Each structure stands twice: as structure tokens, then as C-alpha cells.
Amino acid sequence: MEREIQRSGTGAQLLTETLARAGVRTIFSLSGNQIMPVYDACIDAGLRIVHVRHEAAAVAMADAYAQLTGEVGVALVTAAPGFLNALSPLYSARLSESPVLLLSGDSPVAQDGMGAFQELAQTTISGPLAKRALRPLRARDLGLEAASAIRAARAGRPGPVHMALAFDVLCAQTGSAVLPGAGDFVPQRQPLDPGMADRIATLVAEARRPVVLAGPSLSPSRAGDLATRLSQRLAAPVVPMESPRGLRDPALGAFAEELSRADLVVLLGKTPDFTTGFLGGAALAEDAKLVVIDPETDALDRAWRLAGERIVLAACTDTRAAAETLAAGTPLAARADWAETVARSLAWRGDEPASGAAIHPVAVCRAVQRVLDAAQDAVLVCDGGEFGQWAQGYCTAGTRIVNGMSGAIGSGLCYAIAAKIARPGATVVAMMGDGTVGFHLAEFETALREDAPFIALIGNDSRWNAEYQIQLRDYGADRLIGCELTADARYDAVARALGCEGTLVTDAAALPDALADAATAAVPACVNVGIEGAPAPLFTRTGKPAASAH
């Protein structure tokens, strides 16, 4: 699609036509005064608006949609209060490496500095949270500026871009304005130099116990079998990391114990931070060598500050391009013993927890796993908190979305709705705690209205259990305060009141039937399960916890 000239139309029409040319078909939004011109323009551009109940939900849905489709997820919110509501999930999208375009309404340019309704220096606020923040000042610039924003969101390390839309710019006539062509949306890639690829392969071949740590964008849910192909070619474990618990991520089992024995660690788009113990001796062997491959010079600079002379090679290049280049070479000699050792550590879960009077989270996970295994296409959503960690440790699916490196909780319902919209034929199961579900409980109505049925499994221990466990551990049982929730809260009844299915489960024997009914429901289903308030699992065979600040 080549560039064309739009001879007439408003800024809003130029914007929506540009989005359509970029392949956007769905916009997640909450309406407001300043963005109604965009709503109207979506009709002629053929863009679907998924109208949510809170601005944060719109950005969270755009985040999940981007992760599942590989496309740019688009969120549209109104000015000042609406924009501010969207900031927390914007931060999460940045750390989850999700290409998101946040569009926000804004006060008119012509009234700048006059105290206009909801006037706010939005881009000053969003700048530290987004890869780029811009506010076009002329209607005819909206097309190329939007294309530039989409290109930036997809370039290098993917992430969110914010574009503030002044009301008078949206309403103004564009005159002869440029409609972007297909090439305007495509970022310029930084390929890995073949010579550098050979040097990396040589270093891996010479190591006895190499490990590749990858960032979220190389997880199987986003990159398919790329990590597997890379592991086969380098004869080295490739471990994507996407949890705020870092090396304590229950999905990684006891992997941290083997990582501490590695003699070469390749950071492939994995930012050096708290999740790897700041590359210190508690996480990595003191004599371990490092190779750092990253699309951002800031990450490379940080690695040099943290690891210094232990870095034997560093390259500024796109993660996905580097992984594809490295995976395409001649396979290196296999290290069967090391590969098997790491694989066993990743799969290790220790002894099965003993059953008590209440339903243990592991029993819930086992029942959910049977639903996932029976599905032809399964999407697992794991929110944060203690119950979310049990889910991440004991449930698996071909596609998984977690709460991400930010550690924010509460987006599970939003992720599930976006997953069902992105993959209508999939069985989508979202697992979350009773604290978590309260953030966006009203989005059950959105899911019903948008015909996006999924299963929401609530592990209900009647508390904010992560903080409750901190209080127990650090202050003692006589210093518990503020973390209890209502024991008889009926989240399932709320779901039913909003037109969805809802079931309360207090007996483990009733759980399989409740899940079976939910899996066949034509509407979103909430299964509210009373569980034991167990602390999140920490899988370690040595008794020493993995290095992580979280």
C-alpha cells in the first residue's frame, strides 16, 4: 500500500484511516468528550470499539491483544482523568515489552495555557512510561504521526507509545494530507552482524554449562518455537523470563540452582535487573562470563556497570533478529547431561502439598489443567498474588499471559477478554485471587456484551494473601492488620447479576463438574473457589532461596 493524499476530511478521519491501513481492526476504549470525533470516524473506517468500564482495562486489553496477535494493541481514552487512569497498565505494558498505542483525548491546542477543560501536560507525564510521547499540533500531521508511533512501538524492544489528541486537531479539516503507506508502519531492524553471531556461537561452544536468558518477547506465547530452535542450535538451555518474581518464578521450578552453576550466561534481550539478582554472585557464579545482546544502549550500559569485566561480548541489536540469526547456524555439539539437568530443574516441583480442611491451590490447579489439556486451543491467564503464583507453577498451556515484570495485579479479567477477542475459538481460563478480581469485576459485563466467554477461576482465601504472608513472616501473627477480606463475598453472584454464569465451590469434589459446566457455557463464567490461604510456592532443592529482590 503506497502513500496517498487525502483531499478532504477531519483529523479524526485521517487518524482512523491510518489505523485501518496499519491493520488495526479493534480498539479498546472508554468514551469521553474529547474523543467522540474518533468514535464517529471509526464507523467509516470499519474499526471495532470494545467499550470497557475503566480506562485501565482498555490499556490492559490492548497489552494482552498485542501479546497474542503480534500486532499493535490500541487503547483510546479521554483526557486528563481518563488518561491518568490509564497510566498503571501503560507501565505494565512497557515492562512486558508489548507494542501498545495509547491514544488519549486532549484539550484544544488553541486554548493551551488558558485553563481549558481538563488541560494537562500529558506527554510530560507519559514520557517516562512510554517509548515515545507525542502531541500533533496540525490535523494534516495525524496520519504520518500515527504511523511513526506504531513504528516506534514495534521497533527494538517493543513497548507502548502515547499520542495525545487535541480536540481541535481532531475536528479540523486536513486539506491535502498524506495517508501513510505500508512501509511507514515497519520499523527498521538492527540485525546481528554475522561475524558477531559466529563469535557468540564460539563462546557458547567453548562453555561447559551455558545458559541463554531471554526477555518476555521471546516467550513461546509470542515467539512460537524460536526459543526451542535456538536451544537446539546452540545446544544450550534458553529460558525466557517474564515474571516479577524473577528467579523465584514458580514456573521456573528450581532453575535458579542450576543457573548459579553456569559458566556462560547470554542475556538475549533480558534486561539486567533485580530479577537476576543484578547479575551478582547470589544469582550467577562469580567466575561466570556474560554475553549481552540488547536493542537498547541503556540496558547495555547498565550491564557494564553491574558486571564489568565479566562481560566478554556485547552487541546492540534487535532481540528477535539476533535470535533468528543465531538459530539458523549449524548445530553445536550436544551437551546432553547439562540439558537434562536444567530441564529437570525447570520441571521440579518438590513434594505434593498435604491436603487440609480447605481446598489447596494445587488441587485447584490440577483440576484446571485437565480443562486446559482437553482444549484444542488453550489460553492460560495468570494474574499476580499468591494464588497466581500457584497457577503459574502448576498450570501450563500453549499460550500463556502473566501479570508481567511490573508486578501489578488486577488485569486478569481484562487479559482474558482480549484473549477471547483475539482468539475467538480458544478456551480461555483466567486464574486470579479474590483481591485481584475486585480491580475490574465490572468487566464481566463487557465480556458478555462483547460475546467473549471465558472461565474466571477465583482462588478465594478471603485476604490479600501476599501482604498477609509478609506480615506473618516479618512482623508476626499478632501484628496482622488490614489484609483481611470478607469471608462470604460472592463474586460468582456478582457475575450472575451481570448476566454471566457463576458458581461457588467449597468442596474439592464439586470442582471438576463446576469447571466442566463453565467450559461449555455460552457466556463468561465465574468459578469462585474457597481455598486454603497458602503462601506462594518457592521451589528449591537446596533450601537456599533464589536471588531476587521481589
Residue 7 has pLDDT above 80, yes or no: no
In a domain, residue 539? The reply is no
Based on the domain organization, do 317 and 380 belong to the same domain?
no
Question: Strand, helix or coil at 264?
Answer: strand
Predicted confidence at residue 545, as pLDDT, reads 61
Which residues are CB-contacts of 281 (< 8 A; sequence separation ≥ 6)? none
Q: Which of 267-276, 323-332, 344-353, 370-379 has the lowest mean pLDDT?
A: 344-353
Predicted confidence at residue 543, as pLDDT, reads 65
The span from the CA of 529 to the CA of 203, in Å, is 50
Based on the domain organization, do 232 and 292 belong to the same domain?
yes
Give the pLDDT mean for 321-340. Answer: 94
Based on the domain organization, do 70 and 178 belong to the same domain?
yes
Predicted confidence at residue 549, as pLDDT, reads 46
Mean confidence (pLDDT) of the chain: 95
- Kindly report the CATH number assigned to the domain that includes residue 310: 3.40.50.1220
Residue 548 has pLDDT above 60, yes or no: no
Based on the domain organization, do 217 and 148 belong to the same domain?
no
The span from the CA of 302 to the CA of 278, in Å, is 10
- Decide: residue 74, CB within 10 A, 0-12 exposed, 13-18 middle, 19+ buried: buried
Residues 405/384, Cβ–Cβ less than 8 Å: no
The number of beta carbons lying within 10 Å of the beta carbon of residue 44 is: 12
In a domain, residue 356? The reply is no
Among 301, 300, 339, 105, CA closest to 208 = 339
Give the pLDDT mean for 443-460. Answer: 98
Mark which of 318, 347, 376 sits at the end of a domain: 347
Give the pLDDT mean for 471-482. Answer: 95
Residues 85/53, Cβ–Cβ less than 8 Å: no
In a domain, residue 135? The reply is yes
Based on the domain organization, do 51 and 149 belong to the same domain?
yes
Mark which of 131, 162, 185 sits at the end of a domain: 185
What are the tens digits of pLDDT across the range 498-507? 999 999 999 9
In a domain, residue 328? The reply is yes
Based on the domain organization, do 198 and 181 belong to the same domain?
no
In a domain, residue 281? The reply is yes
Predicted confidence at residue 353, as pLDDT, reads 81
Q: What is the pTM of this model?
A: 0.96
Residues of the chain by 3-state class (helix, strand, coil), percent to 5: 45, 20, 35
In a domain, residue 547? The reply is no
Based on the domain organization, do 407 and 491 belong to the same domain?
yes
Predicted confidence at residue 318, as pLDDT, reads 95
Predicted confidence at residue 6, as pLDDT, reads 74
Give the pLDDT mean for 310-325. Answer: 96
Residue 121 has pLDDT above 50, yes or no: yes
pLDDT band at 546 (very low <50, low <70, confident <90, very high): low
What are the tens digits of pLDDT across the range 76-89? 999 999 999 999 99
Q: Distances in Å between the alpha carbon of 55 and those of 28, 60, 320?
A: 9, 9, 31
Based on the domain organization, do 267 and 307 belong to the same domain?
yes
Residues of the domain holding 389: 361-530
The span from the CA of 426 to the CA of 397, in Å, is 11
- Kindly report the CATH number assigned to the domain that includes residue 109: 3.40.50.970
DSSP β-ladder status, 264-268 and 161-166:
unpaired
Give the pLDDT mean for 364-393. Answer: 96
In a domain, residue 352? The reply is no
Mark which of 163, 185, 207 sits at the end of a domain: 185
Based on the domain organization, do 526 and 453 belong to the same domain?
yes
What are the tens digits of pLDDT across the range 8-33? 899 999 999 999 999 999 999 999 99
Ordered strands of the 399-402 beta sheet: 399-402, 378-382, 427-433, 455-460, 525-530, 501-505
Predicted confidence at residue 547, as pLDDT, reads 57
What are the tens digits of pLDDT across the range 415-427? 999 999 999 999 9
Number of domains in the chain: 3
Share above pLDDT 70 across residues of the chain, in percent, rounded to a whole number: 98
* DSSP letter, residue 478: G
Residue 75 has pLDDT above 90, yes or no: yes
